[in-house]
Structure 1
Amino acid sequence: MGRVTGQRRIVAAVTAVGVAAAVAVVAYRVLAPAEVSTTARGGYPALGAPEAGVIGRLPVAPLIVDGRLRVYAASRQVYADQPVDGRHRGTPHWSYRRWPATLDAVVASGTTVVSRWSDGRLVALDARTGRVAWRADGPEPERERATRRTGTATVWQPSGLSVSRTVDGREAVVTSGAGEVRAVDLADGGQLWRSPVGAGCREPVGTSTAGQLLTVDRCDGPAVVEFRDAATGAVGRQWRPPGAGDELTATPIGCGPGGAGCAALRTAGSGDVVARAWLLGSGDPTPVRPLDGPGAELVDQTVVSMVDGVLLGRAVSGGVPRWRADVGPGRVIAVQPGRVHVLTQENELVTFDPATGAQLSRFVLDVGSDGTGWAPGAAYAADGYVVVERLRQPVDPDGDDQRYYFTSEPLIVAAT
């Protein structure tokens, strides 16, 4: 009897070990770091050429890449659909997933889409195929990004990640966080430079047309704006607006997608009544009074602003008036090369040529039976398209997503 009992114990022990091993294998397969890349099966889509007007609506915010694709961000996924002028979000043209890291930011330049993840990893995808072009290490984000379901913070305000054109013509992907700034070559992911910086006291805000990384530095004494060469990482100068107090905020103006290639900077210090604007170049920033205060934008060397229902276009140098256009009450919601977009109080989208002030298109931002009883949220413009986030009125910034957004597909897309 004792021998039988011992055999049973041995069998039970072996069975337990086998079950534990099986569970471990399953757990490893489920929880182990992994990536899944699903490449495009069809060819690269043609350039979209829709007539001016509302195209459709989307549940999440797109990046428009190369005028051909819409790229989206999810918690652990970057994916694209097409055509770019599709009425609704379509079946993914390609997709890339990672686990267990979460997606922190996405930028695009040309046909390269670069994603940054919570572990600091950079993954570049070829937008034409969805294939991984390169992988590189970078600093981990200093904090977890707070995002709503549309993902606008990930794709339209990608803090800590930008693309800069260096003075020698290369494009560098600059990433910051966890006490470090690092740059890699957009072409192949090769490291260009890395530099330790004070944790929590330096905030990159964008890059200039002169190939400089712009950073607000609060590490030692009063805040200053630091100009760092995007090609080498060398700090060229530190600059402080005359008369600024101890505190300082800086907002880039006249930038490309993702805060790249900014032509000017708007600063506000504790002693400033109105935010002041400065033109960026190879030397110290120079004042640009027409850009002072909120609401003014810079596009194609023209300052545009709304004053009492009139859109004004002025030369960036000297502020000489170039043109004016009667629009009615509204505000400039977005600019892009060759276009200025104004949203009126009736939610009409009016687009002008920044060089001449000629009206290019005008139509109501309405789709289906949604109506126009919404408030505008974030807006984005690229490749002739405009995307506007629609919010439920009255806007409740602390409300949950169902209360905050106008519909389940709150982003309205238009061609201009």
Structure 2
Amino acid sequence: MRFPRGRRRLAIAVAALLATAAVAVIVHRVLAPAEVSTVARADYPAPARPAAGVIGRLPVAPLIVDGRLRVYAAHRQVYADRPVEGRYRTSPYWSYRRWPAELTGVLASGRTVVSRWSDGRVVALDASTGRVLWRADGPAPAKGAAVRRTGAATVWDPRGLYRAALPDGRMLLVVTGDREARGIDLTGGRELWRVELPGACRSDVGTTPTGQLIGLDTCAGPAAVEFRDAATGAVRSRWRPADAPDGLVVTALGCRTGRSDCAGLRTAGPGDAGGRGWLVGVGEPAPATALDPAGATLVDEQAVTVLDGTAVGRSARTGAERWRVGGLGPATRLLAVQPGRLHLLTEENDLVTLNPLTGAQLSRFRLNVGSDGTGWAPGAVAAEDGYVAMERLRRPVDPDADDQRYFLSSEPVILVAS
């Protein structure tokens, strides 16, 4: 039986429309913006107290959260695993994924994990369950350097994402881009303020324990350090060291996490000319000559330097020597600090942990896991809650190499308890 020509054409047109609609549905499902939240199905783990030593190795950089979880960054996903002292990465405890936005930064405060995305969205998660606590809009992130496969830059140094404690006890999230900054209440996600920024001629330095966002402004005249009130977004003061060199470089010191809650600064010129250390608080920065040397660090109000195998701790306020530890080896270097711990790395890749107040040795062990050996160079590092995590790089280090040549192995991150 044959259909009349008109009906046949109609049937063909209907079939084509149905096929087009089906394709559109499939494309929409695949490409439409979406988020997938997979919450925890097990109890929140208790804090671990592992003995000092190497715990294991991981393929990606962990952010230690609340002393209980390890949180990781993927291209379009933030996820956690447990136990925190596990030798290897395990199946996700919880996971949060967005599409098509890319993950650009992760920050933790207590049991809140904040993720920032390429479309400006900021999403806070409950670390104990992975459930979404709130969502907020923020400024588009400034373009940064390419992130290598460990994701260390995303979780250990999230540019444009900072926390700041306000005088009334609230914790604020400060989110910045090239042209805008916003203050968001960390508890509920409510936007508190929004201000315009001048652009690439201004850069973030970090936040202070007294609730200020520090920036370096080169937009008009000589470079100046800008102190912005984190509670309102308004510039509180602008400051430039006396006789400061041209091309001022400002580095945050004594930060509790990432570049947040930083108690000190170091200013210098190109090539580290005229380096000077400062303590920040209420009012103008106070000189701290013990922080003047290149490589000096600040922890628990102590200025620490390492030279020719000897570590020296001085009062950051007075410069008075508090302790001295020698015999560490000529190539020993400062590695990382965290409250109550100062971490040094020897030429043989021994991790030496000292009490920053007394110089007493808390632990010392070789950073070797499995059959990897110690013939590697240190890369990015983070210290939190008594743990230290560090990338291991192939020698000689080639910063322009691809990830396979750049990193020691497929599991280049070593995790230790100090």
Tell me whether the two structures share a fold, i.e. TM-score over 0.5. yes
Task: Confirm or deny: 8 A CA contact 1:222 1:245 kept in the other structure.
Answer: no
TM-score normalised by L of structure 2: 0.97
- The CA distance in 2 between the partners of 1:180 and 1:246, in whole Å, is 26
Task: Confirm or deny: 8 A CA contact 1:159 1:205 kept in the other structure.
Answer: no
Task: Confirm or deny: 8 A CA contact 1:279 1:286 kept in the other structure.
Answer: yes
1:379 maps onto 2:384 in alignment: no
Task: Confirm or deny: 8 A CA contact 2:245 2:268 kept in the other structure.
Answer: no
Which contiguous aligned blocks of 4+ residues in structure 1 show a shift greater than 4 angstroms? none
Task: Confirm or deny: 8 A CA contact 1:183 1:191 kept in the other structure.
Answer: yes
- The CA distance in 2 between the partners of 1:17 and 1:360, in whole Å, is 73
Q: How many residues align?
A: 416
Task: Confirm or deny: 8 A CA contact 1:274 1:293 kept in the other structure.
Answer: no
- Deviations 1:338-358, CA, capped at 9 Å, x for gaps: 100000000000101011111
- Deviations 1:42-66, CA, capped at 9 Å, x for gaps: 0100101101100000010010000
Identity rate of aligned residues, in percent?
62
Task: Confirm or deny: 8 A CA contact 2:245 2:274 kept in the other structure.
Answer: no
SS in 1 for 2:359: coil
1:187 maps onto 2:187 in alignment: yes
- The CA distance in 1 between the partners of 2:234 and 2:356, in whole Å, is 36
SS in 1 for 2:195: strand
- Aligned match of 2:36: 36
- 1:92-241 equivalent positions in 2, closer than 5 A: 92-241=92-241
- Aligned match of 1:310: 310
SS in 1 for 2:396: coil
Task: Confirm or deny: 8 A CA contact 1:133 1:188 kept in the other structure.
Answer: yes
Q: Which runs of 5+ in 2 are unaligned?
A: none
Q: Which runs of 5+ in 1 are unaligned?
A: none
- The CA distance in 1 between the partners of 2:139 and 2:260, in whole Å, is 20
- The CA distance in 1 between the partners of 2:16 and 2:271, in whole Å, is 71
CA offset at residue 2 of structure 1?
A: 11
Change (3 A) 1:286 1:144: closer
Q: Which moved more, 1:264-273 or 1:232-241?
A: 264-273
CA offset at residue 258 of structure 1?
A: 2.3
SS in 2 for 1:92: coil
1:89 maps onto 2:75 in alignment: no
Change (3 A) 1:17 1:268: same
SS in 1 for 2:133: strand
- Deviations 1:60-106, CA, capped at 9 Å, x for gaps: 00100000000000010000000000000010000000000000100
- Aligned match of 1:358: 360
Task: Confirm or deny: 8 A CA contact 1:120 1:141 kept in the other structure.
Answer: yes
- The CA distance in 2 between the partners of 1:244 and 1:308, in whole Å, is 29
- The CA distance in 1 between the partners of 2:202 and 2:10, in whole Å, is 62
Query: What is the root-mean-square deviation of aligned Cα atoms in Å?
Result: 1.4
Paired AA for residue 285 in structure 1: P
Paired AA for residue 19 in structure 2: V
- The CA distance in 1 between the partners of 2:395 and 2:269, in whole Å, is 33
- The CA distance in 1 between the partners of 2:63 and 2:113, in whole Å, is 10
- Aligned match of 2:329: 328
- Deviations 1:358-386, CA, capped at 9 Å, x for gaps: 10000000000000000011111010011
SS in 2 for 1:261: strand
- Aligned match of 1:403: 405
Paired AA for residue 203 in structure 2: E
Task: Confirm or deny: 8 A CA contact 1:340 1:353 kept in the other structure.
Answer: yes
Change (3 A) 1:218 1:37: same
- Deviations 1:205-254, CA, capped at 9 Å, x for gaps: 11011110001112222221110111111211011122224422211000
- The CA distance in 2 between the partners of 1:19 and 1:98, in whole Å, is 29
TM-score normalised by L of structure 1: 0.98
CA offset at residue 144 of structure 1?
A: 5.0
- Aligned match of 1:52: 52
